[in-house]
Amino acid sequence: MANALRALTEEQKRHFDTEGYLIVKGLFAPEDLAEITETFDKLSHETIPGYFEPDLKGDAADPLKRYPRVMHPHRFNETAKKFMLHPPVMAVLADLYGEEAYAAQSMFYYKPPGSRGQALHQDNFYLKVEPGNCIAAWTSVDPAYEENGGLLVVPKTQAHEISCPEEADTRESFTSHYVKPPKDGVVMPVVMDKGDVLFFNGNLIHGSYRNKTKDRFRRAFICHYANASATAINVHYNPLYKADGTELVLEGNPDGGPCGVEVGEFTYH
């Protein structure tokens, strides 16, 4: 039985259900963002094998080599785990799912000036949450807009089945997968302020721009979640976490698997 709405209005829930995404303004307070920023600024000078492996000498040709994404920081960093389970986020997810949400993944993106974006794709192609779907909670640590590599969404494509990706233009995308939007689909930029969170359905086609600025990062803290009634997920995302931090393991979905030869696991903006 669906829970009564707690964090969202009926209008917000309807927007998510019909459009496939929802921006919730200011869900992270300034002090939350300060803690996240301090944590990942410090981490940017370290190497965590298997999770964060920067070229600390830098690479002018590809700024993402100096500032690659941080994968699953909740597995080694308590700040990341705390904010993956941020109560305001978990409350919104409970409204969107109509049941408890389980946290499956965390990531941090630095997206420095000049770095490539990511071609359009669908998240549940990778997570393989069944039955149900994954939902992303994409938090702006910096303002995000077209010029510095903000997100793109194709509204209403949450109603589309998962598509088999085509080859992306890797001159503009750091991953090699591309999902072509439907003929009537409109690719729409998403403009966000610091602390805003974009929630979107795992089937929604989305991607991101290249960061065209010379001096502005577009940092983001990104997590993915599964519905409590799901029984299977791509094995890479076990264990999952309940809101209180309790670990649980879902059946490893045999259809799931690593995505993108160049990154080795789940690809994202």
* Structural domain includes residue 87: yes
Dist CA 203 CA 98 (whole Å): 18
* Structural domain includes residue 48: yes
Q: How much is the pLDDT for 5?
A: 58
* Structural domain includes residue 202: yes
pLDDT digits (tens, 9 = 90+) for 137-155: 999 999 999 999 999 999 9
Q: Is 211 in a helix, a strand, or coil?
A: coil
Dist CA 8 CA 91 (whole Å): 9
Query: Count of CB atoms within 10 A of residue 87's CB?
Result: 10
Q: How much is the pLDDT for 256?
A: 43
* Structural domain includes residue 141: yes
Peptide bond into 239 cis (omega under 30): yes
Q: How much is the pLDDT for 223?
A: 98
Dist CA 202 CA 205 (whole Å): 8
Minimal CA–CA distance to 197: which of 227, 218, 221? Answer: 221
Q: How much is the pLDDT for 158?
A: 98
Buried/exposed 21-45: b ≥16 CB within 10 Å, e otherwise: bbbbeebbeeebbeebeebbeebbe
Residue 33, H or E segment: helix 30-43
Structural domain boundaries enclosing 116: 10-252
187 φ, ψ to 5°?
Answer: -80, 115
* Structural domain includes residue 262: no
* Structural domain includes residue 1: no
Per-residue tens of pLDDT for the chain, all 269 residues: 344 558 999 999 999 999 999 999 999 999 999 999 999 999 999 999 999 999 998 766 899 999 999 999 999 999 999 999 999 999 999 999 999 999 999 999 999 999 999 999 999 999 999 999 999 999 999 999 999 999 999 999 999 999 999 999 999 999 999 999 999 999 999 999 999 999 999 999 999 999 999 999 999 999 999 999 999 999 999 999 999 999 999 999 875 444 443 333 444 44
User: What separation in angstroms does the CA of 262 have from each of 190, 199, 266?
Assistant: 27, 27, 11
* Structural domain includes residue 3: no
Query: Who's near 107: CB < 8 A, 6+ residues apart?
Result: 69, 70, 71, 72, 73, 221, 222, 223, 268
Looking up residue 23, the CATH number of its domain turns out to be 2.60.120.620
* Structural domain includes residue 2: no
Q: How much is the pLDDT for 61?
A: 83
Q: How much is the pLDDT for 224?
A: 98
- If one counts the domains in the chain, the total is 1
The distance from CA 217 to its chain's CA centroid, rounded to whole angstroms, is 17
